[in-house]
């Protein structure tokens, strides 16, 4: 995807498909995880890929990594679940 910078604003290419954006894909994963306990990653990926033919396993793993980095999901073995709501902003540089 070609991105042009204009006055500090990112403008996506006019022909780019925004439904394949990392954050949009992440929202679909969050919606799938809402109200559920730990879900097997493989079954989550199957439902993710069925929603749109253009989706790939790489997109799924990148979205999952993004959500984990933001602190929105936690993992246990080969399963993930949505983390409860936290108050305040996440500090990426704080070592717990």
> How far apart are the C-alpha atoms of 84 and 86, rounded to whole Å?
6
- What token pair was written down for 71? 């602190």
Q: Which residues contact 61 (CB under 8 A, 6 or more apart)?
A: none
pLDDT at 88: 64
> How far apart are the C-alpha atoms of 44 and 29, rounded to whole Å?
8
Q: Shortest CA distance to 53 belongs to which of 2, 19, 27?
A: 19
In the predicted model, is pLDDT for residue 6 greater than 60? no
- What token pair was written down for 61? 């793993």
Q: For the segment 28-77, what is each residue's pLDDT rounded down to a tens digit?
A: 999 999 989 999 999 999 999 999 999 999 999 999 999 999 889 999 99
pLDDT at 51: 93
In the predicted model, is pLDDT for residue 1 greater than 60? no
- Predicted TM-score (pTM) above 0.75: no
The DSSP secondary-structure symbol of 10 reads E
């Amino acid at each position: 995807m070609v991105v042009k910078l204009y006055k500090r604003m990112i403008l996506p290419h006019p022909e780019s498909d925004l439904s394949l954006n990392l954050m949009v894909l992440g929202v679909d994963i969050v919606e799938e995880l809402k109200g559920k306990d730990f879900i097997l990653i493989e079954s989550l990926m199957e439902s993710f890929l069925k929603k749109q033919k253009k989706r790939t396993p790489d997109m799924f793993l990148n979205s999952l990594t993004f959500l984990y980095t933001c602190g929105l999901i936690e993992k246990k073995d080969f399963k993930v679940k949505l983390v409860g709501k936290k108050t305040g902003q996440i500090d990426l540089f704080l070592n717990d």
